[in-house]
Amino acid sequence: MAKLVKNNTIKLKFDSVKNFAPAPESKKAAKIDPQYDLFINGKFERPMSKKYFSTINPATEEKLSMIAEANTADVNKAVKAARTAYDKTWKKMPTAERAKYIYRIARMIQERAREFAIIETLDGGKPIRESRDFDVPTAANHFFYYAGWADKLEYAFPNRKTTPLGVAGQIIPWNFPLLMAAWKIAPALACGNTVVLKPAENTSLTALKLAEIIQEADVPPGVVNIITGAGVTGAAIVNHADINKIAFTGSTDVGKIIQRAIAGTNKKATLELGGKAANIIFEDAPLDQAVEGVINGIFFNQGHVCCAGSRLYVQESVFNEVVRKLKDRLETLIVGDPMDKNTDIGAINSKAQLDIINKYIKIGLQEGAEMYQSSCAMPKKGFYCRPTLFTNVAQSNRIAQEEIFGPVLAIQSFRTDDEVIEKANNTAYGLSAGVWSDKGSKIFNLTSKLRAGVIWANTFNKFDPTSPFGGYKESGYGREGGLHGLSAYINLV
Amino acid sequence: MISTKIIPDFLLPPHIDQVGIEERSSRFTKRSIKNETKLNGLMLALNMIDLTTLEGKDTDGKVKQLCYKAIHLHDVYPGLPTVAAICVYPSMVKIAKKALEGSGVKVASVATAFPSGQATRDIKIRDTKYAVQHGADEVDMVISRGKFLQGEYNYVFDEIAAIKEACGKARLKVILETGELVTYDKVRKASDIAMYAGADFIKTSTGKISPAATMPITLVMLEAIRDFYYKTGKKIAMKPAGGIGKSKLALHYLVMLNETLGEDWMSNEWFRFGASSLANDILMQLMKQKTGIYQNANYFSID
Amino acid sequence: MTTVTNKNNKRLEILKTYKIYIDGQFVRTESGRYYIATNSKKENLANVCLGSRKDFRDAVVAARNAFGSWSTRAAFNRAQILYRIAEMLEGRKAQFIDELIKQDSTKTQAEKEVNLCIDRLIYYSGWCDKFQQLFSSVNPVASPHFNFSVPEPMGVIAAIAPQNNSLLGLVSVIAPIIAGGNSCIVLASATMPLCAVTFAEVLNSSDLPGGVVNILTGKVAELVSYFSDHMDVNATVYCEADFATQKMIKEKSALNIKRVLLYNKIKWTDASGQSPYFIMDLQEIKTTWHPIENIGGAKAGY
């Protein structure tokens, strides 16, 4: 027998990959004011709380701006504006006119795309490549898609007419600030509702920039109100008596608090919560594409993605090969300045999140899992985490069960189809899952048996305005995107 | 010499997902290459070119001119490298060899009834031996695509092995003519067959069939090289040919090479561009980098 | 030969034991408790199981086990089984009318209710293999992927049936649950439980696999919290207007993000008491992506 070369004697070298000359996007193309007020009833107003908090660039820890903190009185004012706009203007407006306002927002985001991308990256730490190529265009597309629904709702629900719900209170997370604002505002407006939206306190800037666009677009005052603040502000929205609907994207823990908080009311709710998606590679998969899918599945947006493919299951016959390919690919990821066009992995969104991720990395090591991190150089300032793989992981490890929300992948092996289906579904979550195989009938078996709202087969982390997104089980309820996303903002009559 | 006797079952289908491989390859084009990285990249790309003339109307005169160009790319720009090789038909090897004497530029010859490969094996072997005898440092053979598509993988394998033997010390480039294989699965399979049969290079295209080299096809082949390297420890070189005319695209190829096979492949021993118009585009870019002024093609010699 | 007869010299009637229905079996409550169902004339109608939390627990286990094969069964087959239920109900119409009359209906009302139940089952039978087409979509995504969204059953549903319309309410709640491929545990009307148990007999003779529908009798106030906080239940259905109970269900459901459906405003006797939207209330939307290869025709390089 001829001898095979052992894997450990051979290693490709990728040191030079990370030595690109700096290619930073210019900060000058975006204007950030020193201070931002609340956007209520079409105007920027100083908060009645008289308080402001600072927002920083997580890549440099430098202060970017001061953001108004809305208190209960501010929330009341915003809800009142939304209610008045709903009663007096928005619900009465011909639907085709409503559509045109939303189209206008879409177009204006496209026009100012570069500015939005820069601010999104400065405020949130995500790579400019992602802000530029994903967050901003997808947000604009979402408005464009739902704009067209405004005057076609009668076709969406067979044998039923629709009415708007009224005022929607919307609370969004820090991982996709502008995109989540679009996911919330676009369908709500198209269905005839008015909104009070609160971005996450770490990442308020693009939502406030969106407020500028809404103002410029001449959207009637009060139809969209954007108020800033932290959890207390969010709670004031959730508990406000004149709100008809709560739409929340964030952690499962907070989702549960919200469900309890509105239990004694008639408020409707949609919740888009956490996840711990399984990504499954069979031996007959297109392995190199699967590896790429795994990389994008867990390292996209530093892993701050509710549908991140954070649990990898690899069939034992290809386990070593897949892990080797993953390690090689890990070495070619550039970690660093999010503003550099070559950066693949930017800054962790906040110190607090970095602490959580590091806590889980420690837990993983304590649990005896084997860690592999890329050898990349790390910036001296700012919040960063090396892309991390764990092998030698079992289902009972905490890193395989709990949502880490960072660039940390837990890899397990499996032997048979039934085993992996059972393990993939063995979680409280059910947001998304991935499966990689070249055999069509196997794909359909897996896609139908995996209990999750979005299944990516031979791909991962794909999003589109026309495609409904949302979870099973503790990943929440309701869908965002597509025809099904309309249900969240209408009553059927 | 590491044994390559462990040969995979070529009847098993490889699994390449088209959308996935194209997404990956387009990701390389998102790299922003600036300043010294760009300069180094352009210099390297220039040094990796197989300057090619493969026409029915080729003459001694034409080949001599091309050889002069290979050594004197743009003399107003001091410190430029030469190209890697001149690529010609077997009948032109002798003249090219002489013109390039002492320059370090290699002579590559297509052989084996290029470009169709529709000849008997003994003719192909004689064609190869002729080129080598006249001094070819490298031989660019074509595989029998008809046989390959018929599923006669052993025929294709044995033919490559036979040509490899006929090459002697010359390095063998195996042209898959990916434009005729159509799917990525087939490109991967043909790459594996060529490498296990003894290829030193695998090469995409003759340049006579469209589409010629594309980034995703090249990526499939680079990944095949990588997997082969991990299995056998043997490095195989890569040559995309045809369709690469612009320096920006060449830089994207180098990014792809660097991020797929790593820095050990970043030299003309392990990577070539089969191209004729690329050199001048790179020269224009280099002049632009040096002077900051956009260039006109008429200031760069055509050979 | 003499025959022993009762004092009226008539044959002694066999009284029915009203049991609960778990996993396809008629069982007594594990608690051994019972209550007496009465009507407005204060007549004792039957001793009825006073179901316990452990009965509910057992029923959830049965429902979870049944869910897998029921949810993956061909929709056409589910349609046939719902149709079969309607057939069985039609065949035993007299018994249901009789029980409804005992529970204070007039004969006309009782006949109308049973007929409506049969028709409603037929209605939902028809929807079994049609609602998916109506509520699915192929989504025209802007990338080379095939993308489609389809409804999938939610799982195990815990339902508290309407306290009035004891038969119609029960049937109207169960039919859309099982038409959509879910399994369920249903708490029958506490005041009028007779038909519910008899309906279980209909289910039992209709090729409906055991465990798909489990019917308990008992008190809402005692059981509702378990219906709401059991971690292996995916959704809770409640049909009464009691605000405190509604609030409690929603609060407890938060424990595992259960879906809560409140049907207190539905007029079950109307046409509005049936629609595919009741099926859709207990469906999840699953969206699947797959790349589409695009080979053929001339392709530009790069």
Please spell the DSSP secondary structure of chain C, one letter per residue: ------TTSSPPPPPPPB-EEETTEEE--TT--EEEEE-TT--EEEEEE---HHHHHHHHHHHHHHHHHHHHS-HHHHHHHHHHHHHHHHHTHHHHHHHHHHTT--HHHHHHHHHHHHHHHHHHHHHTTTHHHHH-EE---SSSEEEEEEEEE--EEEEE--SSSHHHHHHHHHHHHHHTT-EEEEEPPSSS-HHHHHHHHHHHTTTPPTTSEEEE-S-HHHHHHHHHH-TT--EEEE----HHHHHHHHHHHGGGT-EEEE-TT--TTSGGG--HHHHHTTEEEEEEEEE-----S-----
- Residue C112 in any domain: the answer is yes
Q: Do residues A177 and A223 share a domain?
A: yes
Rounded to a whole number of angstroms, the distance from the CA of A450 to the nearest CA of chain C is: 10
Residues in A touching B7 (Cβ below 8 Å): none
Cβ-based interface (< 8 Å): residues of C facing A: 72, 134, 137, 139-143, 145, 147, 149, 152, 154, 234, 243, 246-251, 253-257, 259, 275-277, 284-291
Could you tell me the CATH number of the domain that includes residue C259? 3.40.605.10
pLDDT in tens, chain A (493 residues): 334 444 445 778 888 777 889 999 999 999 999 999 999 999 999 999 999 999 999 999 999 999 999 999 999 999 999 999 999 999 999 999 999 999 999 999 999 999 999 999 999 999 999 999 999 999 999 999 999 999 999 999 999 999 999 999 999 999 999 999 999 999 999 999 999 999 999 999 999 999 999 999 999 999 999 999 999 999 999 999 999 999 999 999 999 999 999 999 999 999 999 999 999 999 999 999 999 999 999 999 999 999 999 999 999 999 999 999 999 999 999 999 999 999 999 999 999 999 999 999 999 999 999 999 998 889 999 999 999 999 999 999 999 999 999 999 999 999 999 999 999 999 999 999 999 999 999 999 999 999 999 999 999 999 999 999 999 999 999 999 999 999 999 999 9
- Residue A66 in any domain: the answer is yes
- Residue A210 in any domain: the answer is yes
Q: Do residues A255 and A314 share a domain?
A: no
Tell me the residue ranges of DSSP E strands in B84-137. Answer: 85-88, 106-110
CA C55 to chain CA centroid, nearest Å:
16
- Residue A361 in any domain: the answer is yes
Q: Do residues A152 and A35 share a domain?
A: yes
- Counting one residue from chain A and one from chain C, the pairs whose CB atoms sit within 8 A come to 113
Q: How many domains does chain A have?
A: 2
The angle that helices A177-190 and A205-216 make with each other, rounded to 10 degrees, is: 40
- Residue A287 in any domain: the answer is yes
Question: A404, A310 in Cβ contact below 8 A?
Answer: yes
Of A252, A263, A457, the CB nearest to C251: A263
Residue in this structure with the two tokens 């795994």, named with its chain if needed: A294
Q: Using the beta-carbon criterion (under 8 Å), do C292 and B19 form an inter-chain contact?
A: yes
pLDDT at B1: 40
The DSSP result for A47-60, as a single string, is -TT--EEEEEETTT
What gap in Å lies between CA B218 and CA B202, rounded to an integer? 10
Could you tell me the CATH number of the domain that includes residue A378? 3.40.309.10
Q: Do residues A296 and A259 share a domain?
A: no
Residues in C touching A429 (Cβ below 8 Å): none
Phi-psi region of C286 (alpha: psi -120 to 50; beta: other; left: phi over 0): beta
Q: Using the beta-carbon criterion (under 8 Å), do A476 and C289 form an inter-chain contact?
A: no
pLDDT at B11: 82
Q: Do residues A173 and A43 share a domain?
A: yes
Q: What is the residue range of A238's domain?
A: 27-273+472-492
- Residue A308 in any domain: the answer is yes
Q: Does B13 touch chain C (CB under 8 A)?
A: no
Q: Using the beta-carbon criterion (under 8 Å), do A20 and B31 form an inter-chain contact?
A: yes
Rounded to a whole number of angstroms, the distance from the CA of B211 to the nearest CA of chain C is: 6
CATH code for residues B18-290: 3.20.20.70
ipTM reported for the complex surpasses 0.90: yes
Q: How many domains does chain C have?
A: 1
Digit-coded pLDDT (tens) for B124-182: 999 999 999 999 999 999 999 999 999 999 999 999 999 999 999 999 999 999 999 99
Both structure tokens of C2: 């003499």
Residues in B touching A23 (Cβ below 8 Å): 32-34
Q: What is the residue range of C95's domain?
A: 20-137+146-283
CA distances A198 to A123, A184, A201, A243, B167, Å, are: 16, 11, 8, 14, 71
Q: Is the pLDDT of residue C1 over 80?
A: no
Q: Which long-range contacts (CB under 8 A, 24 or more apart) does B152-156 make?
A: B153/B10, B153/B11, B153/B189, B153/B193, B156/B190, B156/B193, B156/B197
- Residue C291 in any domain: the answer is no
Rounded to a whole number of angstroms, the distance from the CA of A207 to the nearest CA of chain B is: 27
Report residue C24's pLDDT band, with 50, 70 and 90 as the boundaries: very high
- Residue A6 in any domain: the answer is no
Set A306, A307, A376, A385: catalytic member? A306
- Residue C4 in any domain: the answer is no
CA distances C57 to A380, C197, C209, C232, Å, are: 56, 19, 19, 9
Q: Do residues A188 and A305 share a domain?
A: no
What gap in Å lies between CA B127 and CA B113, rounded to an integer? 7
Q: Do residues A265 and A356 share a domain?
A: no
Closest C-alpha to C198, from C170, C177, C173 = C170
